[in-house]
């Protein structure tokens, strides 16, 4: 019975680890999504400014 309790404790600990890992993964996923969104927005704004600056004669000469 003592060993069974030990096994039960081990499984409970593993379950806690799995839950924490899942929580961490969910957090990482949201961070990844936010990072990708920021990257897209930043890239889009950069592209927009580049397109806006193109018609000027100084960039055409270069």
In a domain, 62, yes or no: no
> What domain count does the chain have?
1
pLDDT reported for residue 57? 57
CA dihedral 33, 38, 40, 46 (to 10 degrees): -170
> How many helices and strands, by DSSP H and E, does the chain display?
2, 0
Where in the sequence is the domain holding 24, given as residue range(s)? Answer: 2-56
Q: What is the mean pLDDT of each run of 10 residues along the chain (62 residues)?
A: 88 86 91 96 92 65 52
Spatial distance between the Cα atoms of 35 and 30, rounded to a whole number of angstroms: 8
Is 13 within a domain? Answer: yes
- What predicted TM-score, i.e. pTM, was given to this entire model? 0.47
């Amino acid at each position: 019975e003592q060993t069974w309790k030990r096994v039960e404790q081990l499984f409970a600990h593993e379950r806690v680890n799995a839950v924490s890992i899942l929580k961490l993964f969910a957090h990482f996923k949201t961070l990844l999504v936010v990072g990708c969104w920021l990257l897209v927005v930043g890239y889009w704004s950069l592209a927009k400014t580049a397109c806006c600056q193109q018609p000027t004669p100084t960039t055409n000469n270069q």
